[in-house]
Every structure is written in C-alpha cells, then in structure tokens.
Amino acid sequence: MTKKMYDTPMLDQLESGPWPSFVTGLKRLAKDNDMMVDLMGQLETSYQTRKGYWKGGTVGVFGYGGGVIPRFSELKDDQGKPIYPAAAEFHTLRIQPPAGMHYNTEILRKLCDLWEKHGSGLIALHGQSGDIMFQGVSTANVQPAFDELNEMGFDMGGAGPALRTSMSCVGAARCEMSNFDEAKALRTIINDNIDDMHRPALPYKFKFKFSGCGNDCVNAIQRSDMAVIGTWRDSIRVNEALAKDYMAKHGMEKLVNDVISRCPTKALSLKNTANVSRADGISSVAVTDTQSLQIDNHNCVRCMHCLNVMPGALLPGTDKGVSILVGGKSVLKIGATMGTMVVPFMKLESDEDFEALATLSRSIIDFFAENALEHERTGEMIDRIGLVNFLEGVGIDIDANMVLEPRSNPYVRTDGWDEEVEKAAEHKRKIAG
Ligand code: SF4
C-alpha cells in the first residue's frame, strides 16, 4: 500500500506544456513507491518556496572512495523529524555504462528491476559525464544495490575530485564516420587509470571523452579535459553512385547552396569534369554527366559538413587516426573554453598506438595532479601556467599545427625568425673578427 499523493499544483503545471514532462514519469513511479511520493512532496515544497532542501554528506560502498552522491533532506518538523521521511535519504549511485552505451533489452530490464527493488525506480541515462544515474536510494540500501550491480558486471563511476566516468560515441559499431575504435580507446584509458576514479585524490575532476569524428557526438571538445577525436589525413573518399543519388533527390541548387557554399574553407568547388585538377590532394566525384564536385583536401579542415549532408557520397579517408585536445569545459572561472589541439594527428590502430595514447593520458593526469590548484580544471591550469609549460611538462614537442581553432592562433609564430637568424649570424661574424 503506498502513501497518498500530496497535492502538487506547481508540478502539475509542468505537465501542461507541449513536451513530455519528467513530472509524469515521477507520478507513474509514485503509484507504487512511497519514496517517490515523498520526493514529489519535497519537490513541490521547493517550487513553492523557491529553495532547495538537499544537503550532502558521506555515503559510500566498501573499497571505493567515491561514486555515490549523498543527498539528505533538510525539511524537518519542530521535533527534527523529516517531513517527507520516505525520501529523507535520496542518494545517487553513479555507474559506468558500457563504452558506446550499448545495452541489450535484457540488461535494461534487469537494471530497472534492480532499482525498483533497492531504490526509487528513477534512472537517468546518462549524466553529462556518461554515468548511468541510479537516483534515490537510502543509505542502508546503497551497498546491496551496488553489490547486485557489480555481480552483473557494472562498476562504480567517478564523483568528486577524481577521474570521472568517461564517454565514447556509438562509433565504429554503427557509424560510417568513425575513424578509430572508440570503445577500445575508452576502456584502455579508463581501465589504466581506474584507481584515480575510485579513490578521489586529484585537485579537481578530470574527464576523458572519445568521439569518432569531428561531429563530436559526445561533446568532447567542449566538455572534457582530454578529448580524443577521430580524423583522417588523406583525401575524403567519394562514392559516385551515392553522389548521383544525392543529385537525383536534391538537385544542383541544393548542392551549390547547402554543400559547396557552406564549406568553411572554400575547399569545395564545381568543375566541368574535363577541367578537374589532377594535382596532389585533390579528389573529385562526378555529380552530373559533365560536372564534378572537386575537393581540395589540403584546405579541408575536417569540419564534417559536406560528409554529413551527402551521406555515403563523401566519407572520411582511409588514413585514419585521432587528434587530441586538452582543456575544454563548458563554464570555467576563466569563461567557457574549447579544447586546445595538442596532438594534431596520431594513428590509433596497433597495440603500440593504444599504449602511446595510454602513456600520454597518464602523463597528462600526473601533470594535472601535481600542478593544478585545488578546484582548478585542466583548461584553467593551462591558462595560468601557459601552454608551453604544459607541453614541456607532459613531453609533447611544440608543433605549428597546434591550434586553438582552425586557421587562427598558431602557437608557433615564425614572424621575426629570419631577423633572429640574421642577428645571430652577424654576432658570430663579429666574434670571429
Ligand atoms: Fe569543407 Fe572539409 Fe568541411 Fe567538407 S569537411 S565542408 S571539404 S572543410
């Protein structure tokens, strides 16, 4: 028998808009779960008073220093008893999802059953760090719930000043734009550094994210301290049959207005097939009997636009690899930052390649652990100490291809170098007499 529902006039309003409301989901769970009834009572109070009533604390499971987000209700009566007792403890378990978020329905059903048995039934797939968020569990049920999840093969994610649960896009399993094995890269890096996830000892949070191409489906550039993004360094591949299909469906106007003119670097052009350039780095595909789409690959910045709008007709090249960016974060004390590219290209195919990536990730975490101030993210640390010091510290050679954004801000400027060389030569001449 569940408790009677509280009146929730303000929450009810949230169901009146055009979109599905989380309130409908909460009400459904509250039909046979007292914890959710009381959660809705507390939430309605918060809406009425415009105050939050959750405070943190310390809750965990054996052997781990993090992964549980403790939430205790502060709404108490005159005797100090919780006003909404069934939701007085409403902790969250952060659990690592499979790389690429692949589940089968059997596992999803088991996860739902488990959480209805031990917790509130409320699960969020997935948090911004990638976690499966099992929300709403009492302190007493945290350990049994985790033990059962662990039996199923799931492990605790990161919380607090620690390596956070990582994310990779669905990638090679289902996406033709994929340029590396995203799931393998995620598991290699996270398994190598798992101690930093389970025993928080870093100055602040540290996130890895893995996207198979520049579309960056997991927001790695904006939302991770180290972003691994798939790319290629040869020419865009073309498929003439699919390019003609595109033309049959969309026509020349769309090709010109939606594809060619939207290339940010003007690397695309329409040519008479007879006049297509044969120069190195130029590829082309016939779009009509007489005309071809010409791609100047040296000028392409791999923005993915043309590949996205002509699916299958244009595809990433075959010489695939990754670019690595560091220091992204949506809002920092220094403002929002996008990752800075510190490795323009590296191959990621052989075991040695994955080992090199693991070594680099370890040096970056170690450098962050030793040099960041408390509550400072990687991007802020780099901003404070300077990129050159960071690169030296992690052992990356400075390269003119390191950019903050395409076509601007090369960190290696060559203006003035000729004068410097001339000065040095003059000095030498003087010394020689
Ligand atoms: Fe231009 Fe390259 Fe972007 Fe295509 S992927 S639109 S060629 S910059």
Complete domains list, the chain, with CATH: 9-151 (3.30.70.2500), 167-232+320-402 (3.30.413.10), 237-315 (3.30.70.20)
Say yes or no to pLDDT of 409 above 60: no
Using most ligand atoms within 8 A of CB, pick from 238, 298, 301, 407 the residue to mutate for ligand 1: 301
Say yes or no to pLDDT of 189 above 60: yes
pLDDT of residue 400: 75
The protein residue with its alpha carbon nearest to ligand 1, atom 3, reads 303
Q: Which runs of E-coded beta strand occur in 368-416?
A: 403-405, 408-410
Alpha carbon of 208 to ligand 1 centroid (Å): 26
Q: What mean pLDDT comes out for the span 168-176? A: 92
Q: What mean pLDDT comes out for the span 19-45? A: 95
Higher pLDDT, 287 or 334: 287
The protein residue with its alpha carbon nearest to ligand 1, atom 1, reads 263
Say yes or no to pLDDT of 405 above 80: no
Alpha carbon of 297 to ligand 1 centroid (Å): 8
CB 208 within 8 A of CB 190: yes
pLDDT of residue 22: 93
Alpha carbon of 302 to ligand 1 centroid (Å): 5
pLDDT of residue 129: 82
DSSP state of 96: P
How far is it, in rounded angstroms, from Cα 70 to Cα 86? 15
Ligand 1 atom nearest residue 305's Cα: 6
pLDDT of residue 3: 87
Alpha carbon of 244 to ligand 1 centroid (Å): 19
How far is it, in rounded angstroms, from Cα 343 to Cα 323? 6
**Position 406 confidence tier, pLDDT thresholds 50, 70, 90:** low
CB 183 within 8 A of CB 99: yes
Higher pLDDT, 2 or 165: 165
Alpha carbon of 300 to ligand 1 centroid (Å): 5
Say yes or no to pLDDT of 263 above 90: yes
CB 327 within 8 A of CB 339: yes
Using most ligand atoms within 8 A of CB, pick from 177, 265, 315 the residue to mutate for ligand 1: 265
- Tell me the angle at which helices 387-394 and 351-371 cross, rounded to the nearest 10 degrees: 130
Q: Which runs of E-coded beta strand occur in 110-221?
A: 122-125, 132-135, 167-168, 208-211
Peptide bond between residue 250 and the one before it cis (omega within 30 degrees of 0) = no
pLDDT of residue 89: 97
Residues 42-98: tens digit of each pLDDT: 999 999 999 999 999 989 999 999 899 999 999 999 999 999 999 999 999 999 999
Residues with CB under 6 A from ligand 1: 263-265, 267-268, 295, 300-307
